[in-house]
Amino acid sequence: MYSAWVACDFRKQDRKEVIDFFENIFKMADLKYEILDEPQLKRLTEKQKQALLKHPIFIAILTKRYKVAGIKDYKPTEPVLVELGMALGQNKVIGAFVEEGIERIDYVYEAVEGDFVKFNRLKLLEVMPNVLEYAQKLQEKQTLRETRRISKELPIPTVNYRFKRVQKNVTIFSNGHGIIEFTCKAEVYSENFKNIIHSFSLDKGTPKGTKLQPFTDLKRRKKSDRFSDQAFFYKLLTPSPRFSMGFGGVEVDTEESKKFRFTFTGDLPIHQEIEYAWGWSCPNLFPLGPGDCRGGPDTLPRTSITVSNLVEELILQVTFEDNYPIYGSPFLKATDESHNTVTLKSPRYERILNSIGTTYRFTQHPTENLISIHYLVQWRLSQ
């Protein structure tokens, strides 16, 4: 997602005993990085300066180099400290791994706000979990900075509501019929709240011949219609004599994409919670074999959701009917608006057997770190 410049000592002993270990952990954390393996000087070369500047994250690996006279402590190699000073001046996200026995250097401590990882080169495996978590945390810090930067450049939106929870349930039958059901719990944030907009569309993971009927031809309101032909349904789950929910109209209506709104009327004070559900049913919504997808033979079937508002809890639940030709288990990926991979803290799923088949439940707790996160569940099909 974001890349890092790594400053360290290039002695062969350090490379063999320490640096190779950290590089392996950075790869495990999906952290792209660059190390310029050149002779170290007290002043940076122009090549080093340019390389350092292009990375938003700076990581210093401080290893023992010079013995401090009169005490047990050591000093690290000076060029690493020179690079750290330049990173400070460029307002980089800064992280540090400090070998035990190095004297405290105040400006290093301040640069990382007291947050660094100490290590013993003879016991590196003991700190491996801490190193992995720290590398991921540095990426999260940069994500937050980038979001704040973008937010300052964008007009401040009027927030009329927030989602407390969004749950997307996908049921895939053995004949390719698909049912998409959303359960949404929203909280009113403004007296101007009236509408919530949703959309539904086909993507390159859909079978080639699938088309969506016009809204005027769709069966509506009855949830029982979901098992036959195409249907669209919705329901207010928190009925109240004080407010009501209705279908507010269509904004986009094509064979591949629908965009529509629900309208809420009545007494809706700020912090009022509304829970409602809506869904879509369509035959031939999911492919039955490799190569059936409109994206080509290398495209995997999928279901996805883009979270653009703050969502406190997101649940993606996919149920495969027995005899649907899934191969192995599905997996979760996430990307930002620039299609960069987002590191997920809990990409694993909960597997549940039921009367239909097997359900895989992915639970995430998105934050405001990103303006928009695209969550994608993919799976492979049997040959």
Average pLDDT over residues 109-131: 89
For 336-358, write each residue's pLDDT tens digit: 766 778 777 666 678 999 999 99
Its pTM stands at 0.58
Distance CA 84, CA 44 (A): 11
pLDDT in tens, 70-79: 777 888 888 8
Lowest-confidence segment of 45-49, 317-321, 359-363 by average pLDDT: 45-49
What pLDDT was estimated at residue 125? 93
Name the range with the highest mean pLDDT among 73-82, 245-254, 300-309: 245-254
Domains of the chain, each with CATH number or no CATH: 3-153 (3.40.50.360), 161-381 (2.60.40)
Q: pLDDT at position 368, please?
A: 44
Confidence at residue 346, expressed as pLDDT on a 0 to 100 scale = 64
Residue 310 binned pLDDT confidence (cut-offs 50, 70, 90): low
Instruction: Confirm if 318 and 331 have CB atoms less than 8 A apart.
Output: no
- What is the pLDDT at residue 120? 94
The proportion of the chain whose per-residue pLDDT surpasses 70, expressed as a percent, equals 88
The contacts of residue 50 (CB under 8 Å, 6+ apart) are none
Distance CA 20, CA 35 (A): 11
